[in-house]
């Protein structure tokens, strides 16, 4: 049986639901914005959590953006693996 506490927000005790988030990182020379990132989102306070697989994909997206050397890169989330 799945532990129901996993779906409870540790900040406000609201319910975490599947949704999307926007991930932003400032790398000094480049700002990368990734939209539509799969996340668990608290229905009460709006805090967001991403799982490890999504984090790995985000790292690959950010690495690709760094190689292009744009000042600002805005993209949508995509699976890289």
How many CA atoms does the CB half-sphere of 12 hold within 13 Å?
Answer: 11
Torsion on CA atoms 43, 23, 35, 27, rounded to nearest 10: 170
- Residue 80 or residue 77, greater confidence: 77
Q: What does DSSP say about strands 31-42 and 72-76: parallel, antiparallel, or unpaired?
A: parallel
Domains plus CATH for the chain? 4-76 (3.10.20.860)
The whole-number average pLDDT for the span 46-63 is 95
Residues 49, 39 contacting (CB under 8 angstroms): yes
pLDDT digits (tens, 9 = 90+) for 4-43: 567 999 999 999 999 999 999 999 889 999 999 999 999 9
């Amino acid at each position: 049986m799945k532990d129901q506490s996993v779906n409870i927000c540790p900040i406000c005790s609201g319910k975490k639901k599947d949704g999307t988030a926007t991930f932003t990182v400032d790398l000094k020379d480049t700002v990368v914005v990734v939209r539509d990132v799969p996340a668990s989102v608290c229905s009460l306070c709006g805090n967001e959590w991403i799982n490890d697989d999504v984090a790995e994909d985000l790292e690959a997206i950010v690495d690709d953006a760094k190689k292009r050397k744009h000042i600002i890169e805005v993209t949508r989330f995509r699976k890289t693996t």
